[in-house]
Structure 1
């Protein structure tokens, strides 16, 4: 698939409604998407929900566990109300 647009950590996309958050660890180029107005983060594989808590995905499937933990802290620090995780559904504060 050809790339339509390259994005970087901190870039604003979708008419400045969404900020790109670099969240490497699970994979090297993983990103999450933060929608401040909606107080929501699409975490993708940067987080899973287990026992009503946001955690990194299974460490056995992370390319770099230390970076995955840093990325999880980074998206938690956004203090969003909703986190949408690829594995595990929706986490709501």
Structure 2
């Protein structure tokens, strides 16, 4: 099972496919004994959970048919939806 949130110091964080290359690189540096900042990373599943919780998947589905102007408006709606809405409880309390 993929964890939604893991500390950068964890072995799981080194999985670039799940937690992204930045987190994986930070984790690898930490596991090599180099100092890294305290922090955490979110899995791609956490992003999907947040999109679903805030009903943003329906907004994303509009993108393929949008012209440039509409696409900019849609992307802004997605960005603000992620910024303004509360974090999903599954992410806050895994």
Q: TM-score range by the shorter chain?
A: under 0.3
Larger Rg: 2
- Higher helix residue share: 2
Provide TM-score, normalisation by structure 1.
Answer: 0.24
- Higher strand residue share: 1
Provide TM-score, normalisation by structure 2.
Answer: 0.24
